[in-house]
Amino acid sequence: MNKKNLVEKLAKHTLTKEDAKKFLDIIFEEIKYSLISADKVVIKNFGSFIPKFYKSKKMYDPKRKKYIPIHPRRKIKFVISKTFDKILNKKNN
């Protein structure tokens, strides 16, 4: 599923396509700005987006036989909620 599919599904239920696109853009922008400012984003019954910081380090390159610097960076970790995990991994009985 991509953004276009989400817009179409939202438009089917309540909004026009233009309003659905604006709505999704606002949501994604707010999530992005929260993560940039190092805030955790929690969506109940879905999961959490957690910014994780990695320090700079040196790694050994066996091909060149020398150490190369790895610059500090940020990554986003997604943790699924317990409720969604139960639904996702529910066994068919």
pLDDT digits (tens, 9 = 90+) for 62-73: 999 999 999 999
The reply to whether 23 and 45 lie within a common domain is no
Return the SS3 of 52: strand
Q: Which helix (H) or strand (E) is 36 found in, with range?
A: helix 17-36
Q: What is the pLDDT of residue 14?
A: 77
**Cβ-contact 69, 56 below 8 angstroms:** yes
The reply to whether 33 and 44 lie within a common domain is no
**Cβ-contact 55, 25 below 8 angstroms:** no
Q: What is the pLDDT of residue 46?
A: 93
Range of the domain at 23: 1-37
Percent of all residues in the chain with a pLDDT value above 90, rounded to a whole number? 65
The reply to whether 15 and 28 lie within a common domain is yes
More confident residue, 76 or 14: 76
Supply the CATH number for residue 49's domain: 4.10.520.10
Number of domains comprising the chain: 2
16 pLDDT band, cuts 50/70/90, is confident
Q: What is the pLDDT of residue 92?
A: 53
